[in-house]
Amino acid sequence: MSKKKLFSLVLFISLFFSCADKIQQKKIEAKKGVIDLRDFDFEKEIINLDGAWEFYPDEFLEIKKLEIAKEKFELGQEFDLLLNEVLSIDLSIETENKKKEFIEVPGVWTKVYKKRFGYGTYRLVIKLPKIIPKSLIFKIPELGTAYDFYLNGLKIVSNGKVGKRREDSVPELRPTLSPIIYATNEMEIIIHLSNFHNRDGGLWYSIQFGKESLIRDLKESKMYNTLFIYGSLFTMVIYHLVIFLIRYKDKSALVFSFFCLCIFFQLLVNDEKLLNQKFRDGTYLLFSRIEYLSYYLALPCFSHFLQLVFPKDFNIKFRKTIWIISGLFCLFVLFTPSEIYTFSTPIYHIYTLICLCYLLYIFLKAMIQKRNSASIIFIGTVIFFIGIVNDMLYSLTIIQTSFLFPQALLAFLFSHSILISRNFSFALNEIEELSFNLKKINLELEEKVISRTKEYKEQKEIAEEANLIKDKFVSIVSHDLRTPLQGVFNLLEILGNRKIPKTDEESKSFLKMCKENIELSLKMIKELLDIGKLKSGNLKVEKVEIELKELLDSIKIELMPLFIQKNISLISNIQTSVKIYADKNFLRQVLNNLIVNAIKFSEKFTEIKIYHKTEQNDFYLYIKDHGIGMSEEKLSSLFSSENFKNSIGTRGELGSGMGLFICKYLLQIQGGSLILESEVGVGTNCEIKLPLK
């Protein structure tokens, strides 16, 4: 691929994902605590409740509405009636005698409050049209650092626990959607907010208001992009880790894998905060430290990677200095409370910008020196630099855009992956050339070694088999693993392009295909690592007494979705009393693999039979299907590591071709065996043989 094409690819990815989560928004701002939305079109747009809100420092305005309503209703009446009565009551919170300020939202409260730690009340009145839109909700971002959100006197959302002292306050940072509200022509928002755990308090980011469908569409669109980036990051972590394991002398792949891991954790606790959504109570300090540590460690990992890639241009002393300074920041995060270490962020932002300027200088120097792939990596880094600067200014509430780090990161990671992949390909070419020369020498010496001992011959065969497995490792990682991931990228590209018409059914189908491709990639990586363990002899057998029926039942439950998809029945004559002596984990892996294969190559509405017998000191277990079967030629090559091939099931299911090889080996190390009998168009019968003791 030419440099011009690579540039176009990186630029397209950046522009696509920077625009994928945008939705048209009309600029209407609050003035002196009132925002007028009577002329706003809620059917087409959502609104950011930005502007001048009322702010009452060191005061929690009293909420009286619920108490008034409760006096008019007896206990046990319908809740909807109670809500209607609450909404009909005139809101009359006394504010004349309160100390009132006006504060810009979004932003931090220090400009008005003059304090970083404390509490206060934000208030905003919303005016709606006479014909009130239905299904309205709020999208509330993380606010600093605990709040109660009241609408017309009703608490609809809360995060953490607000308090007037640090001891009474519990912080929590979690974006959330409100339930569908009971809207009136004039509504009042009251937010009780306290902060004793972060360098800045206040409504940091914009609160969005609009129809539930539009806000959920925006959230889902952003989630799809985020999940794609998570998947890409995780795949890159595994991919470059495997590259390092294959070619461990080149440590750049390992360092880049650690860098991707730092960014992966940074995204999990930032923006949409998926970890905070999943785990809530008592996790603020943990996730806050993960956020800061992952950010502080990303810079030294990246600089280390560049020093390994451009050793002639990058000063190694500068790399060590970055590690030392970043390490000190990490220790500061680990051993101080959040209200102290959060002050380190602005300092680290400045430090990061200085380091990034130096790194850009390194790229320019490498380009002038015409280093390999320097121009490709420079383009991705410039986009990444712009994204980082934007997010720094946005996190400090200096500008009001949005987080662009994930989109910039994607362009950055692709450019660096191209670099590592190219270096890896060049190394493979050298290995292949050396391997060819080695084979040529072996052929010339073949006549001289015929007379050598049988032991030497066996050792030579083992070495050749290991070499073939290594070649297959490289082939699968560089080709087969790339294929499903490219499919995922193409499908998500279609999903994110609004210009391509698609039905809900098609969208669901595309997402399902993405999930299946990613699962296949993870399975292939696991099987590759399993084969590595087999050949290194690192597997230890721990035999125990196993109740076979219980084991089969658990496998059946696990594979139930596969049975249901093809309407396949599993018939077993295994009784509770049947027990065998084997390694439970290895046997489970063998049975799981063989049953999945039986499902894969069976037609719809057929059945799979499992039965057993005992002869002398051996136990036999049979798994029989009525599938497409195999020819004798294919049977003879199934268990050879030279013939790993992808195979396709009756519904297009994919496999790596390594499963049966692993199954046979796991049985052999337990003193057993695996024999397959098959006939084309009739089916396959698998015989598992294990010693009784």
Contact criterion met (CB below 8 Å) for 203 and 210: no
Higher pLDDT, 477 or 161: 161
Burial 419-457 (b: 16+ CB within 10 A, else e): bbbebbeeebeeeeeeeeeeeeeeeeeeeeeeeeeeeee
Q: Which residue has the higher pLDDT, 277 or 91?
A: 277
Which distant-in-sequence residues (6+ apart) come within 8 Å of 80 by Cβ?
A: none
pLDDT tens for each residue of 154-208: 999 999 999 999 999 999 988 999 999 888 899 999 999 999 999 999 999 899 9
Structural domains of the chain in order of their starting residue, each with its CATH number: 34-215 (2.60.120.260), 452-538 (1.10.287.130), 539-691 (3.30.565.10)
Q: What are phi and psi of 47, to 5 degrees?
A: -125, 140
* Residues facing 544 on adjacent strands: 582
Phi, psi of 271, rounded to the nearest 5 degrees:
55, -100
pLDDT above 50: residue 87: no
Q: Where are the alpha helices (DSSP H) in 369-481?
A: 374-395, 405-449, 454-475
Rounded CA separation 551/69 (Å): 59
d(CA 53, CA 56): 10
- Which pLDDT does position 421 carry in this prediction? 65
Residue 494 — very low, low, confident or very high, per pLDDT cuts 50/70/90?
confident
Name the residue with higher pLDDT: 454 or 122.
122
CA distance 692 to 167: 64
How confident is the model at residue 443, as a pLDDT?
76
Residues 201/108, Cβ–Cβ less than 8 Å:
yes
| Tokens read off for 170 | 């519990």
297 pLDDT band, cuts 50/70/90, is: very high
How far is C-alpha 415 from the geometric centre of its chain's CA atoms? 20
- 255 and 304 Cβ atoms separated by less than 8 Å: yes
User: What is the biggest distance separating any 2 CA atoms in the chain, rounded to whole angstroms?
Assistant: 107
Residue 260: predicted pLDDT: 84
SS3 content of the chain, % helix, strand, coil (to 5): 55, 15, 30
Contacts of 473 (CB under 8 A, 6+ apart): 246, 528, 531, 532
Cα(407)–Cα(391) distance, integer angstroms = 11
Residue pLDDT, tens place only, 245-269: 887 777 888 888 898 888 888 878 8
Q: In this predicted structure, which of 50-59, 510-519, 532-541, 552-561 has the lowest mean pLDDT?
A: 532-541
SS3 210: strand
Asked if the model's pLDDT at residue 439 lies above 80, the reply is no
Q: What is the mean pLDDT of residues 98-107?
A: 88
Whether the CB-CB separation of 383 and 14 falls below 8 Å is answered with yes
The secondary structure element, H or E, covering residue 11 is: helix 3-19
β-bridge mates for residue 194, sequence order: 119, 146
Q: Which residue has the tokens 């800045």?
A: 200
N-term to C-term CA, the chain: 60
Residue 90, classed as helix, strand or coil, is coil
Cα separation, 313 vs 361, in Å, equals 10
Which pLDDT score, from 0 to 100, does residue 85 have?
45
Q: Which of 491, 521, 23, 14 is nearest to 224 (CA)?
A: 491
**pLDDT grade for 451, boundaries at 50, 70 and 90:** low
CA dist 647 and 404 (Å) reads 41
Sign of CA dihedral 565, 566, 567, 570: negative
